[in-house]
Every structure is written in structure tokens, then in C-alpha cells.
């Protein structure tokens, strides 16, 4: 059975940041078409396409998931292996979302705002989980 590839952009609630989410994405051409469709900035697209093979290899060999950022371009990426409804999968997703929240907390000056971080974590986990499970529609 072929695993479904899921690609979408996750909003960050009250923050203007967006996260490119790649679940089980193996096809660089499909990713390129998606980046073109959403009219992403050229420097972000170039970085994503350039590092895509490394991320793919890392999640295949070492990690189920990975949060990626590049301070030279605007945007972040959350990469996960194919979707699997298991505790290990959800735990890895939560681990990576924690990295997202920490990254945003540093960038938004909210390191001491523990409650705001908890709400952001909850929002991101719920939103991403509902999209990859097919509960919420991916635009």
C-alpha cells in the first residue's frame, strides 16, 4: 500500500509565522509544484528544495520527524515520516512542535510567557493532527 504524501502550510494562531509541513513527502517535483502554487518566496523555496534530500534521509535513517529552520530565510519546515496512528508517531510530533514553540518564543520575545507557549503548543498540535488525520481540510 502506497503511503499518502501530505503537504500544507500551518498557521501559528495569533503569530504571523507559518510552518511548511511535509508528511511522508518523497517527491521533490510535487514539493516544487506546491511551493510554486502557494507562491512562496524564492529564497525560502530554494532552501527547502536544496535541503529536502538531507531531511528525507535523516527521517528515514535517524528520526521520525524534524523541525528545520534557516535564519537566512523567512520560514520554517516540519518534516515527518509517513503518517502512522501510533503513540510513537504522536510523541515525535509533540517533540518537534516543542522545538517550533521554543523557536517562536525566542523570536517573539515570549520566553518567560510559559502559559502563552503552552497555548501555542496546544493550538499547533491540534491543528496539525486534525489535518494529517483528515478531520480538517487542507487548503
For the stretch 49-74, pLDDT in tens is 888 888 877 777 777 899 999 888 88
CA angle 111, 15, 138 (to 5 degrees): 125
**Mean per-residue pLDDT of the chain:** 88
CA 29, chain centre distance (Å): 18
6-12 and 65-69: which strand pairing?
unpaired
**pTM of the entire structure?**
0.89
Instruction: Identify the band that residue 139 occupies on the pLDDT scale cut at 50, 70 and 90.
Output: low
Amino acid at each position: 500500500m502506497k503511503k499518502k504524501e501530505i503537504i500544507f502550510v500551518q498557521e501559528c494562531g495569533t503569530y504571523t509565522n507559518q510552518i511548511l509541513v511535509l508528511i511522508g513527502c518523497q517527491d521533490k517535483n510535487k514539493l516544487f509544484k506546491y511551493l510554486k502554487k502557494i507562491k512562496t518566496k524564492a529564497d525560502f523555496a530554494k532552501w527547502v528544495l536544496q535541503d529536502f534530500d538531507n531531511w528525507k534521509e535523516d527521517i528515514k535513517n535517524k528520526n521520525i520527524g524534524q523541525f528545520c529552520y534557516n535564519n537566512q530565510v523567512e520560514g520554517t519546515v516540519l518534516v515527518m515520516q509517513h503518517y502512522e496512528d501510533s503513540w510513537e508517531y504522536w510523541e515525535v510530533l509533540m517533540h518537534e512542535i516543542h522545538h517550533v514553540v521554543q523557536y517562536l518564543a525566542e523570536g517573539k520575545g515570549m520566553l518567560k510567557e510559559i502559559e502563552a507557549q503552552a497555548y501555542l503548543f496546544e493550538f499547533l498540535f491540534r491543528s496539525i493532527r486534525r489535518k494529517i488525520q483528515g478531520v480538517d481540510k487542507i487548503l
